[in-house]
Amino acid sequence: MNAVIGDLIAEYWQRPGPGAELPVLTLTEHNGFVRQTDRFHKRLATTDTSKYKVVRRDDIAFNPYLLWAGAVARNTIVEEGIISPLYPTFRVLDGFDPGYVARALLSPEMVSLYDSIAFGSVPRRRRSSVSDFLALGLPWSPPDLGKQRRVAAILDHSEALCVRHRQVLASLDALTQAIFSEMFDQHDHPTVAAREFMPEMRNGLSPSTGGHCLSSVLTLTAVTNGEFDPRFVKRGSFDFDPPPEKRVMAGEFLMCRGNGRLGLVGVGVAVRSDRPDLVFPDTVISGRVDQSQVLLDYLEVAWRQSSSRSQIESVARTTNGTYKVNQATLSGVKVSVPPMKLQREFASRLAGVSRQRAKAHRILTESDTLFASVQSRAFRGEL
């Protein structure tokens, strides 16, 4: 009989001592533990943290409202910190390596099981209990301690390669922003509402249940990933063959219509080549860009400036934990539009950065594929 999570870790609760000055940590959905000041650029915790929980290095915790999304983490950033009393905290039991346990709890096999113990009517607020979490069975039997440490070391090294390539991409994004700021921040150019250069906006098409026409449908990740990435697709069925206006074509600007994260709603990416094989869903709004007014290369960067983001976020509405915008609100977003000569100069300067980004994306994809393969093999006992 395979082990359960409760065979690897045990819950504990410790409050900070009187006068303890410990860093406040936040448990994030995608990045594990981070310092609260790094995440929000300020401290959000109350002055009185006596009811907070202590979390030491290598301890495990999870967010009960986001466990279904993989919000479980091991503390590797501080020797001792404090976290919200909302988060259950656990110690790794003797005979188990903390690195291996954390990797196991975040493996795709385990994350897929967390959804089965999440309950509630609001999608992003479905709660999981400690007892249900600890009772979940592992799809495999943990190896001996030496093998656990070896597996953890291999996965750490493989992930480090992915992190390094993401840092390269982040540096290229920073370079793009620096070029934009140098060229445009100190100049006042006319602001133009999006409806003036994207007069034709339309919603996508959602797959139906039992439809007889199969097509590849973009996922939101293809739009929210920083630049258009047609690899993020799923198969969907429709009652009729999706018409050309619901397919992805060059010269369009795809925008996220709704997301659980406010920072992602309304984000947009440019499409530079025809992809009639792909359908965009109704969670995406597409705008045909008049490039005699605004170049795609310029719009893609201008749209993510704080001046544009603040307008989008101010008009977003939330329903059941999801932030949403519509065509009418997006069409009213005003963007600074410099003369076409400057836009062309910007696009020319950006061309070299774009080539490097494409190369970095390709290497990162290979690294991510390698990590997924190694991770899969690790918990099947093949390493």
Residue 65 CA, chain-centre distance (Å), reads 17
**pLDDT per residue as tens digits for the range 315-346:** 999 887 789 999 999 999 999 999 999 999 99
Task: Tokens for 272, please give them.
Answer: 């530079």
pLDDT at 241 over 60: yes
pLDDT at 44 over 70: no
Q: Residue 3: phi, psi to the nearest 5? A: -75, 165
Give the integer Cα–Cα distance in Å for 328 and 193.
11
Number of Cβ within 10 Å of residue 180's Cβ equals 18
* pTM metric for this prediction: 0.73
Amino acid at site 307: S
- In eight-state DSSP terms, residue 95 is T
Beta bridge partners of 91: 10
pLDDT at 40 over 60: no
* For residues 269-276, average pLDDT: 95
Beta bridge partners of 79: none
pLDDT at 46 over 60: no
- Whether the CB-CB separation of 111 and 383 falls below 8 Å is answered with no
Give the integer Cα–Cα distance in Å for 6 and 77.
24
Q: Specify the higher pLDDT residue, 152 or 225.
A: 152
Give the integer Cα–Cα distance in Å for 279 and 235.
10
* Contacting residues for 228 by C-beta, under 8 A, at least 6 apart: 222, 254, 269, 270, 271, 272
- In eight-state DSSP terms, residue 243 is P
- Whether the CB-CB separation of 371 and 158 falls below 8 Å is answered with yes
Give Cα separations from 157 to 139, 152, 183, 196, 311 (angstroms).
24, 9, 40, 50, 42
